[in-house]
Amino acid sequence: MAGPLKVLGACPLDCPDTCSWEVTVEDGRAVRLRGNPEHPFTRGALCTKVNRWLERAAAPDRILHPLRRVGRKGEGRFARISWDEALEEIAGRLRRIIDEHGGEAIWPYWGTGTLGWIQGGNGHAGRRLFNVLGASRHHYSICSIAGSHGLTYTTGTSAGIDPESLARAKLIILWGTNPLTSGHHLWKFVQDARKNGAYVVAIDPIRTRTARQADLHLAPLPGTDAALALGLMNVIVGLGAEDRAYLAARTLGWEEFRERIAQFPPQRVARITGLPEADIVALGERIARTRPTAIRATMGLQRHGGGGAALRALACLPAVTGDWALPGGGLSYSTDDHYPIDRAALFRDDLRPARTRELSMTRIGEALLEVDDPPVQALFVIAANPAASAPHQSKVRRGLAREDLFTVVLEQFPTDTVDYADIVLPATMQHEHADLHNGYGHLYLAWNEPAVPPPGECASTTETFRRLARHLGLEEPSLYASDEELAEQALSSGHPYLEGITLDRLRKEGFVRLSVPDPFVPFAEGFPTPSGKFEFFSRRAAAAGLDPLPGYVPPFEVADPERARRHPLSLISSASHHFLNTVFANNPELRRRAGEPRVVLHPGDAAARGITTGCRVRVFNDRGSLEAVAEVSDSVRPGVAATTKGHWPKLAGGANPNVLVDERDSDMGGGAVYHDTRVEITAL
């Protein structure tokens, strides 16, 4: 008798680690899921959340059949219908909407529930169909875009260094990142560096799990990191420790930027950041004498009004010290841009009319309620949960509640967003469909082979849109490409990093590292900017109406004195240890471990409000309010209140922190400003 089958796949969630996994299948059922021990980043371990993946797949609330709304929008009452009925209704509504309003009245809203290139957010699964329909384009602004833009102005790409090279650093600065919660596999590389004597610094307004493990923790006021970076450079230049040869050969605009640095002496930076001047000087001195220094920054610190400027300023530190040229030196953010996926071949944007408008996912409330040229009439929500994850929750809900809006949600579970759907289409989970992945916190591609057939009537995103194309009677052949064909097209760029990497090989091996040199020092020979140099001075930034030099752009609400008077606390709602965004927030065991929504306050701020640990409190501002349980702890700095993202509003008293967050664009790229939120808190 044949033994159990082992099928290699990859975790699809929006996590930098993109773990390689192995599914054990017995009698056609997935019985075990474990991390792949062969993968150099995964090293055999998944995480608290994904260890419950198979439990999630078999959960009683899983959506297994197409549904049609029978109650009011938001009520979540549905009746089962057949796929044919669902697709006929969708096709009919789309035809009428296109006739009356044009294709742009349709908005495919892709989220980050899966990052796959075939089924998920990276590949905009179904984009070809929406191109043919002339739908509005989707601006993917929810997560990392401000920082990506800031980095791209200075280094020509947002890709940064290989996170694995942190192991070679002698000083590691974990800046606005909480890897022990948000992608724990990085930690092994930090530990390797420590074994070689590296010193680890965490810069975070909150003493997180990660900050507790660091040798030094600095807790600046939220949104002030660019000022801190400029202050550290001021100390370095004051010591004469800048790398003059590097600056002359490899950078553009140093003379101008040096004047900018001079405007940020430690005393001024101490006032802006709320940090002791001596701490700024000491860290500047440490950077000045430690080669190589690696900065790991992720998305947390750029969720502010000046988020783009922050990453831009941080990237300048390793240019001033010449670290970008050294293995183990430089800055790491998202490695996405290192993967030369053939987006043109995959997306087929040539299928769409010359001009279509773009709608921003973090302004979904505005797009549904205020955009009028034409109004959004059909919304497809694909692997997203905007009723829980997007800013200004009450506005999003008002938008989703529009009677004349036709909403189709492709989902696995009855989320708050599903409650507003006209039609719900049951979606497969990762071990039930095929996909191609890259990890944005490492340099490995992965192929995810389906291990078991879809349960009930679930279908993958690609299969759903192939079926819909057929119901619409569309003849464009590329709408019917198989998942394997799509993967081959995605891998067809011919870029040297993909040399020797074929779909066949990925299928056999499960994962393959990009064909990059070892050690990988991506900018040893120069930067992919217009000048080929590191650009302190950026003509492209100036052309976009931005400061041509890196500078400090204050946060919106955190730095607003009028708001500070009415809502004195800055609220940070960061990654929860037990959920991945809103995924797993309906899992009973993980909900139990996460406990009720909590807000952490500094003892001084708590005492001033008569709040003690365990008190029920109301957290509010002009946009809304929520209830939470208070925890009093000096793990947050004075003036800051900390909570987590991810709770489903309907399982958490009707709202989550996004009821407090503004729908507002950061300085670059239109990114969301989740952590740039002012609130007041009172005991209930």
Ligand X SMILES: Nc1nc2c(c(=O)[nH]1)N[C@H]1C(S)=C(S)[C@@H](COP(=O)(O)OP(=O)(O)OC[C@H]3O[C@@H](n4cnc5c(=O)[nH]c(N)nc54)[C@H](O)[C@@H]3O)O[C@H]1N2
For residue 564, the surrounding DSSP H or E stretch is helix 561-566
Question: Which of Mo ion, ligand X, ligand SF4, none has residue 583 at its interface (CB below 5 to 8 Å by kind)?
Answer: ligand X
* Single-letter amino acid, residue 508: K
Where are the extended beta strands (E) located within 539-597?
Answer: 569-574
Near ligand X by CB under 6 A: residue from 105, 299, 369, 408: 299
**Cβ neighbours for 501, distance < 8 A, ≥ 6 positions apart:** 445, 491, 512, 514, 515
Residue 275 binds ligand X, judged by CB under 6 A: no
Beta bridge partners of 332: 160, 296
Contact 134, 103 (CB under 8 A): yes
Minimum distance of ligand X from residue 258's CB (angstroms): 24
> For 442, which DSSP code?
S
Near ligand SF4 by CB under 6 A: residue from 46, 490, 630, 659: 46
Residue 386 binds ligand X, judged by CB under 6 A: yes
Near ligand X by CB under 6 A: residue from 536, 675, 679, 681: 675
Q: Where are the alpha helices (DSSP H) in 216-375?
A: 225-238, 244-250, 254-262, 266-273, 277-289, 307-320, 343-347, 364-369
Backbone φ/ψ region at 678: left (φ over 0), alpha (ψ -120 to 50), beta: beta
Task: State which of positions 553-612 bind ligand SF4 (CB under 6 A).
Answer: 580
Q: Which CB, 35 or 329, lies closer to ligand SF4?
A: 35
**Cβ neighbours for 152, distance < 8 A, ≥ 6 positions apart:** 158
Contact 676, 558 (CB under 8 A): yes
Give me the torsion for CA of 62, 65, 67, 71, rounded to 10°.
-50
CA-to-CA dists, residue 159 to 140, 544, 673, angstroms: 17, 21, 22
Minimum distance of ligand SF4 from residue 10's CB (angstroms): 8
Residue 13 binds ligand SF4, judged by CB under 6 A: yes
Minimum distance of ligand X from residue 684's CB (angstroms): 22
* Angle ∠(387,128,341) on CA atoms, nearest 5: 90
Near ligand SF4 by CB under 6 A: residue from 7, 8, 9, 18: 18
How many helices and strands (H and E) does the chain possess? 24, 27
Residue 291's nearest CA partner among 259, 322, 331 is 322
Question: Which of Mo ion, ligand SF4, ligand X, none has residue 19 at its interface (CB below 5 to 8 Å by kind)?
Answer: ligand SF4
Q: Which CB, 42 or 666, lies closer to ligand SF4?
A: 42
Q: Which CB, 266 or 307, lies closer to ligand X?
A: 307
Binding segment toward ligand SF4, per CB under 6 A, in 8-16, 220-228, 233-241, 516-524: 8-16
Residue 630: strand, helix, or coil: strand
> For 52, which DSSP code?
G
Kindly list the strands in the beta sheet with 199-203, ordered across the sheet, starting from the edge strand earlier in the chain. 216-218, 199-203, 171-175, 293-297, 330-332
Near ligand SF4 by CB under 6 A: residue from 8, 11, 301, 368: 11
Residue 111 binds ligand X, judged by CB under 6 A: yes
Question: Can you tell me which residue has the tokens 């179904």?
Answer: 126
Q: How far apart are CA 488 and CA 73, in angstroms?
A: 41
Question: Which of ligand X, Mo ion, ligand SF4, none has residue 677 at its interface (CB below 5 to 8 Å by kind)?
Answer: none
Minimum distance of ligand SF4 from residue 441's CB (angstroms): 8
Per-residue interface string for the shown chain with ligand X, residues 71-90, x marking contact by CB under 6 A: --------------------
Minimum distance of ligand X from residue 259's CB (angstroms): 25
Binding segment toward ligand X, per CB under 6 A, in 69-77, 112-120, 340-348, 449-457: 112-120
Residue 158 binds ligand SF4, judged by CB under 6 A: no
Binding segment toward ligand X, per CB under 6 A, in 98-106, 283-291, 376-384, 492-500: 376-384
Q: How far apart are CA 66 and CA 409, in angstroms?
A: 10
- Count residues binding ligand X (CB under 6 A): 63
Q: How far apart are CA 50 and CA 47, in angstroms?
A: 5
> For 220, which DSSP code?
P
Residue 435 binds ligand SF4, judged by CB under 6 A: no
Contact 363, 331 (CB under 8 A): no
Near ligand SF4 by CB under 6 A: residue from 7, 8, 9, 15: 15
Residue 383 binds ligand SF4, judged by CB under 6 A: no
Near ligand SF4 by CB under 6 A: residue from 50, 235, 310, 575: 50
Task: State which of positions 427-456 bind ligand X (CB under 6 A).
Answer: 427
Task: State which of positions 476-495 bind ligand SF4 (CB under 6 A).
Answer: none
Task: State which of positions 149-188 bind ligand X (CB under 6 A).
Answer: 175-178, 181-183
Count of CA atoms in the C-beta half-sphere (13 A) of 57: 24
Q: How far apart are CA 521 and CA 168, in angstroms?
A: 12
Residue 423 binds ligand X, judged by CB under 6 A: no
For residue 138, the surrounding DSSP H or E stretch is strand 137-139
Minimum distance of ligand SF4 from residue 435's CB (angstroms): 13
| Binding site residues, ligand X, CB under 6 A | 14-15, 111-114, 119, 142-143, 175-178, 181-183, 203-206, 208, 220, 222-223, 225, 298-301, 303-304, 382-386, 388-389, 410-413, 415, 427, 461, 572-577, 579-583, 645-646, 657-658, 661, 674-675
Binding site for ligand SF4 (CB under 6 A): 11, 13, 15, 17-19, 46-47, 49-50, 183, 580
